[in-house]
């Protein structure tokens, strides 16, 4: 379960941010996770909620996760589309498989709320 190691690194970074900003605590963290990121959202949430108890300034932090869809752009007809299929998708307009991934692999912090 690599979500635990990701959560540990994430919590360590947040703890360092809290120290750097002289925060009393971090209250909320919003992240975006793409469906192709390889991260099981429920496992990441569980790991975060369990492990945050180890960090004094993160004990009451709320993690909000937005799951981003898999989105492609067809390089032939330029249509952008979302799909649930991760196995060899094709353009719904022209049938091409000449595609570029636009979103779906993200793991990014949107914002962090701190109390000073």
pLDDT digits (tens, 9 = 90+) for 35-91: 999 999 999 999 999 999 999 999 999 999 999 999 999 999 999 999 987 788 999
Looking at every residue in the chain, the average pLDDT score rounds to 96
What's the pLDDT at 86?
72
2 assigned to a ligand binding site:
yes
- Could you state, in order of their start, the residue ranges of all structural domains in the chain? 2-115
The pLDDT, as a whole number, for residue 1 is 62
Judge contact between 94 and 87, C-beta under 8 A. no
Tell me whether strands 80-83 and 62-68 are parallel, antiparallel or unpaired. unpaired
- pTM attached to this predicted model: 0.87
Q: Under CATH, which number does the domain 2-115 receive?
A: 3.30.2320.80
**pLDDT, position 88:** 84
Find out whether 91 is annotated in a ligand binding site.
yes
- HSE toward the beta carbon, residue 55, CA cutoff 13 A: 27
């Amino acid at each position: 379960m690599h979500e635990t190691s990701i959560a540990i690194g994430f919590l360590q970074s947040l703890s360092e941010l809290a120290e750097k900003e002289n925060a009393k605590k971090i209250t909320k963290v919003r992240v975006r996770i793409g469906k192709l990121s390889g991260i099981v959202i429920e496992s990441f949430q569980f790991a975060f909620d369990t492990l945050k108890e180890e960090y004094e300034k993160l004990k009451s932090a709320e993690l909000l996760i937005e799951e981003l869809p898999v989105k492609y752009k067809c390089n032939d007809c330029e249509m952008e589309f979302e799909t649930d299929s991760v196995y060899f998708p094709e353009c719904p307009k022209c049938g091409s498989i000449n595609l570029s991934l636009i979103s779906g692999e993200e793991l990014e912090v949107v914002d962090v709320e701190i109390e000073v």
